[in-house]
Structure formats: structure tokens, C-alpha cells
Amino acid sequence: MGFITEETIAFIEAVSIVSVETGIAAYAVGGFVRELFLGEKNEDIDITVEGDAIQFAKQVARLLNLTNVQTHPQFQTASVQAPSEGWIDIVTARSEYYPYPGALPVVKSSNITEDLRRRDFTFNAMAIPIRERKMLPLVDPFSGLKDLQKGLIRIMHPKSFHDDPTRIFRAVRYQTRLNFQLEAETKEAMQTALKANVLETISNDRIRNELIAILHEQCPNNALRLLDEWNILKYIHPGLTAVHAYNGLISQIQSSLTQFALLIPFYKIVSWEVYLLGLISILQPDDAQNFLERYHFPRSVQNKIDELRVVQERDLINILEQHDHLKPSRLVELLDGLSKETLLWLMAKVSTPQARFHISLYLRTLRHVKPQINGHTLLKMGMKPGKAVGDVLRAIRKEKLDGRLITLDDEKTYAKKWIDTYLTDGT
């Protein structure tokens, strides 16, 4: 069994109390239950109740003194913000049907078995009742636990992939993440659905979200290979079908990210963006443009695409690969202004160990080197406000990076020399 944080336990206790008070049955469901049985650390709990989820969530929040509750009456769901676990969803048990392939489902309130029946795979269709501060026995009407133990991905009914073709992408993620296999009939159903071109029925926004989820995985390379094997990449973009052209780069990105996670665990890096840059950078310019227009990635991605252009304009790949010895100040001049994600992509892209070392050095230390002295001190020393203050600070940073200024006094002496020059120039 996996382990649960103290905060999640407190939440479960509150759910249990509200369940007894209201007589409304409550369950932990979906990924939380799956991960628990897989023995993984589990933070993301989802609760389903057989009744009004919004009132239920408000009562749970009140018990725990939590004030942030978001409600979505049209979907009968609510989210409670827990201090460190983030938003916890409480939803009303529902059954649903799909009016046509790829459509969003039509839903109506229901009981837990019907709620589990509408789900993607049997191992995601298990629920743990939360009652009297206990969490057991397991509600498992579709033998999900058996499939979980056998490592099988099994759909709930033959038309599952037609109802919701995004389940094809979800199967790719589970197969690569958990090292599971598609159960024989599920495999056949998927092939039938793919032959019927069901992926053409889903919107670009939904495909984008699935692609992001795939790039969010620990080993996106394996997932991309599987997408290739199942002939799915062409639905994302025809330019991505030549996997051999980029799996070296994607593997290299994976190593750079792992190395950084080990070296600097507190570094917050949006890893899927680094992988996305990897994909975009191998596309022909027209394809890249078309890909970006089609998927409307968030603004943060557009900024990084602009940075790829900066990398090109500064000729960074050539400069870094051709110079084994670059002064720290030169490295800063070359790399300043690029995000950590773009730098990690660049680190994977360059082909020499020395170039990689230089980027890593910049990421780990050089980008944090700043003068101890600040603008106020310079003004006190006699400078007038204006552009020159920034110039002096930049010059001090450069000297400091190259090891010519060590102490605060060194910086002051250097600044004094500059000020004398500026003041005699009258600037």
C-alpha cells in the first residue's frame, strides 16, 4: 500500500465525519486508489459522494477551517483548497453517456457503481468508502484490482475509445508509466477505433492537453515511441512522425532534466515545456508555425519559442560547441535572458561535453552572481540617477564573474574609479 500525507488523512477524517452527519456515502476514487495499491506516494485525492457534492464540500471545508471553496453547480462538483495539497475535488456520483464519438458526455447524478462504470480503465474504476474514519473494504465491481496486479490496461466496454478517444492517449501514458500491457480485447477495440479515425473527432485543445500530459510523464520518449508504434503521431502533427529524427534529443533532454533534479532538487523546471521545445525545434519552420497555430499553447510556451529565435540570432549552438574556454562573463553575456527551460533544451541540443558543462555552470552558479553593491550605494557615492548606474552595476558584475573583484570593498573601489570617469565626463 502507498502512503498518504498527514494533511490527506485529516481531509479523509473530515469527509468521514460529514458523511456520518449527512448520511451521504463518500468514496476516495480514481488515480488515488490506483496509486495506493501500487504503493506510490499519494497526494492527489479525489472524492465522489452519492449526493450534493457542493453542500458536502462546504461542510468539509468548515470542519477543517478552510475558506477557499470553488463550486461548479452545472457539473455538481466543488474543489476545496488545502494548504499544501492544493485543490481537492469533491464530485457528485454520476452516470454519463456520449451522444456521438468524441462529444463531451451528458451526465446525470447516480450511485458509485454507475460512476465507476463510466470511467476509462478497470484499474481506475475502484473506490474506497470513507466511513467512520475507516477506508475499506474496496468497491471494485469491475475487477480493477486483479487487472492492476496483472499489469493489464482494460477498458470497461468495447465502445470506450469511440466514446472518448482521449483514452487512447491515456492508455499510452499508463503503458509507459506503469509498464502495463493492453489486454487483448482492449487492444482490438483500440485498433478498431483508430481505423475508424476517432482521433479526428476530438478538438485540438483536447489533443494539446493530452500531448502536454504525455510530455509531463517521467519518460516521454517511451510514450512517443509507443505513439509511433500505434501510428498515432500523425494525428498530433504529420511533422512528428519521424521519431528517429528526435528521440536522441528527447533522451538527452531526459538526462539533462534528471541531472538537474539530482543536483538542484529545489529548482522548479516545467519539464514538459523543455520536451515541447525539443519537438518544435526539430520541425521544419512551416510545420512549427502550423503546429503552434493549431494548438494554442499557453503564453509561457510562446515566450520560449521567441527564445529559440534568440538562440539562433546569437548563434549560440556554434559558439558554445566551438569554444572550449569561455570566460564566465562571456557565458553570462551569451546566456542571460534565457529561461531555465530553454537552457535545458540547449544543453541537450549541443553536441560537446564542454558546451554542456558551460551551460550547466551558468545554470548552477553564474546566473546567480550579482554585485553586492547596489544602485542606492552608487547614488550615495555621488552618481546621478540614470542609465549610467546600470552600466556601472553591469561592469562590476562582469569583473566579479571573472574573479577580479571579490569583496564589497573591491566593488566600491572599482565603482569609485567609474564614478570619477563619469563625473569628469559630466554624465
Q: Does 124 bind ligand CTP (CB under 6 A)?
A: yes
Number of residues that bind ligand CTP (CB under 6 A): 9
Q: Does 164 bind ligand CTP (CB under 6 A)?
A: yes
The CA–CA distances, whole Å, from 326 to 48, 271, 330, 331 equal 58, 28, 6, 6
Q: Does 166 bind ligand CTP (CB under 6 A)?
A: yes
Map the footprint of ligand CTP across residues 89-108, applying CB under 6 A.
none
In whole angstroms, the minimum distance from the beta carbon of 119 to ligand CTP comes to 3
Q: Which of 31, 51, 141, 151 binds ligand CTP (CB under 6 A)?
A: 31
Position of minimal CB gap to ligand CTP: 31
Q: Which is nearer to ligand CTP, 149 or 413 (CB)?
A: 149
Span near ligand CTP by CB under 6 A; candidates 164-172, 201-209, 314-322, 389-397: 164-172
In whole angstroms, the minimum distance from the beta carbon of 169 to ligand CTP comes to 9
In whole angstroms, the minimum distance from the beta carbon of 116 to ligand CTP comes to 8
Q: Which of 50, 115, 120, 147 binds ligand CTP (CB under 6 A)?
A: 120
Span near ligand CTP by CB under 6 A; candidates 166-174, 309-317, 378-386, 402-410: 166-174
Q: Does 167 bind ligand CTP (CB under 6 A)?
A: yes
Q: Does 30 bind ligand CTP (CB under 6 A)?
A: yes
Cβ atoms 311, 338 nearer than 8 A: yes
Q: Which is nearer to ligand CTP, 171 or 308 (CB)?
A: 171
Q: Which is nearer to ligand CTP, 16 or 166 (CB)?
A: 166
In whole angstroms, the minimum distance from the beta carbon of 94 to ligand CTP comes to 11
User: What is the distance between the alpha carbons of residues 211 and 193, in angstroms, rounded to a whole number?
Assistant: 19
The CA–CA distances, whole Å, from 38 to 3, 145, 178, 267 equal 10, 10, 9, 28
Q: Which of 119, 237, 356, 358 binds ligand CTP (CB under 6 A)?
A: 119
For ligand CTP, the binding residues (CB under 6 A) are: 30-31, 119-120, 124, 164, 166-167, 170
